[in-house]
Amino acid sequence: LHAAAERATGVILCPDRIWLNGRFVRGFAVELNAGTGRIERVAKMADYEGDSRVRQMPGRALLPGFVNAHSHSFQRLIRGRTQWRTAARTADFWSWREAMYAAALSLGPDDVYHAARFCFIEMLRAGYTSVGEFHYLHNAPDGTAYDEPGELALRVIAAATDAGIRIRLLNVAYAAGGIGQPLAPEQRRFGTPDLDAYLAGTQHLIDGLRGSPLASVGVAPHSVRAVPREWIRPLHDFAAQHDLPFHVHASEQPAEVEACLAAYGVRPVQLLASERALDKRVTLVHATHLSKAEIALIGKARATVAACPTTERDLGDGILEAGSLLAAGAGMAIGSDSQTIIAPLEEIRLIEYHERLRSLRRIVITGGDGALRSRRAAGERRVVAPSLIGIGTRGGARSLRLPTGDIQAGAFADLIAIDLDHESLAGATEDDVLAAALALSAPPSVVSDVWVHGRCVVQERAHADAGEAARAFSKVVVS
Ligand SMILES: [Zn+2]
């Protein structure tokens, strides 16, 4: 009855603290509008005295939900299955990719749905409220198109809406096995060999999702390896015409940079810039092997880099130069990518911790979107937590071009509650200490409740469909 009433009229959340403009504040309430799925108002609790819609939340702090800017949900199936090698062979990104291809070849549409739904529920419980699903599983296992060309994209979107997570389906263009090379047989499910057919398919998805509260589409050439140079500009033009995000894997591995230099005489980010595909709607995924000139180009363009440090450390990709990118003016977001670990707090802290390992310094990431207002509040004292939380929330929202990632009137009501009685936060009573403990130390289990589009989808760490989704997931067989 209680839940039904909240659905009808919205709810006014009154936690101990809320995350507002880069810091925790007390005494504020957040009014959710169930009809619009947006935050109606953020106001002093005293303004709502006696209102029957008030829900007291003692021992809880409210944050904007984290945004997962880069995900391949089906890869959740190979977690734990690639952590070995033969004595005769070195393991690296490329050998991992063979195992990932084998898994991709074995999945039917139901398998894709069950893998995605379970993965999205895991994301919600860890504190992600939006996901940018970089979707390149297009064709049937034999490489032919499905009767409905968007079959698998629609399965992933159904999985997201059933789980209750917001999704930006980044529809991937994938036409080559390498620069100037045909698709390899094991890449046959990914292929979009015709540009016009890809654009028509993307348009079809856009039209089908008009009016959907949770699902929308974006444009994503897989990488400069996987699409011809001539495709880059029309793909970006299409994204601009429809005001969509444009995502692309870039410079994840030195071999990609070398192949790009050999074929075009420029590095991947320079190639994108030369094709007028580097601006604020662009997100470069990984970008772990950049030249100084490329860092300057990204910053000047105000493009975003999606850091996926739990995946990058797993695959031996390299370390992102996050501090230099932010200083140059780049945006930054996080992604769970290969799903080795699904934990936004872990992704944001690794951006800082990896910089510490490289630079032999501490307190490195103090800039970026999240820090602007908090720095003033903190005087001359530089702190990392607001920057890191800003990367995970506001930075992701900017990458996916969604009005989320902030607790403010008009934003989507995508929120997470933190359990302040969690053992990992014991003793963190001052606001700035709490922020630091959360950003740099706490596990995903500090997330107690999650709202997406104004609807509570995780309550006291429980998601209604988690058990059934786990059973269906565990029945999916991967080779
Ligand atoms: Zn990826």
Q: DSSP readout, 205-269?
A: HHHHHTT-SSEEEEEEE--TTTS-HHHHHHHHHHHHHTT--EEEEESSSHHHHHHHHHHHSS-HH
| Cβ atoms 195, 173 nearer than 8 A | yes
Is 314 a catalytic site residue? no
Distance CA 128, CA 166 (A): 9
Q: Which helix (H) or strand (E) holds 6?
A: helix 2-9
Q: How many CB atoms lie within 10 A of CB 116?
A: 32
Choice among 317, 337, 369, 419 that is catalytic: 337
364 CA to centre of ligand 1 in angstroms: 26
Report strand pairing: 282-286 vs 246-250.
parallel
Residue 265 vs residues 97, 117, 257, 269, 416: alpha-carbon distances, Å: 26, 42, 10, 12, 46
Choice among 135, 222, 286, 289 that is catalytic: 286
Helices (H), 142-189: 151-163
| Cβ atoms 125, 450 nearer than 8 A | yes
| Cβ atoms 172, 192 nearer than 8 A | yes
pLDDT of residue 1: 46
145 CA to centre of ligand 1 in angstroms: 23
Is 286 a catalytic site residue? yes
How is residue 265 written in tokens? 């005489």
Distance CA 128, CA 130 (A): 6
Q: Residues in the chain, how many?
A: 479
How is residue 316 written in tokens? 């031996």
How is residue 408 written in tokens? 């403010």
286 CA to centre of ligand 1 in angstroms: 8
Residue 166 vs residues 102, 249, 375, 451: alpha-carbon distances, Å: 29, 22, 31, 10
Residue 313 DSSP class: H
How is residue 261 written in tokens? 């230099």
Residue 424 DSSP class: G
pLDDT of residue 216: 98
* Ranges of residues in the chain whose predicted pLDDT is under 50: 1
DSSP count for the chain of H helices, then E strands: 17, 16
pLDDT of residue 469: 97
Q: How many CB atoms lie within 10 A of CB 426?
A: 10
| Cβ atoms 446, 42 nearer than 8 A | no
300 CA to centre of ligand 1 in angstroms: 24
1 CA to centre of ligand 1 in angstroms: 42
Distance CA 133, CA 71 (A): 5
101 CA to centre of ligand 1 in angstroms: 13
Q: How many CB atoms lie within 10 A of CB 281?
A: 23
Euclidean distance between the first and final Cα of the chain, in Å?
46
* β-bridge partners, 220: 172
- Counting beta carbons within 10 angstroms of the beta carbon of residue 404, is it exposed (0 to 12), middle (13 to 18) or buried (19 or more)? buried
223 CA to centre of ligand 1 in angstroms: 10
Residue 452 vs residues 20, 34, 101, 124, 133: alpha-carbon distances, Å: 18, 10, 32, 9, 17
| Cβ atoms 138, 149 nearer than 8 A | yes
418 CA to centre of ligand 1 in angstroms: 29
Taking alpha carbons only, the member of 248, 148, 108, 136 closest to residue 192 is 136
How is residue 121 written in tokens? 């529920």
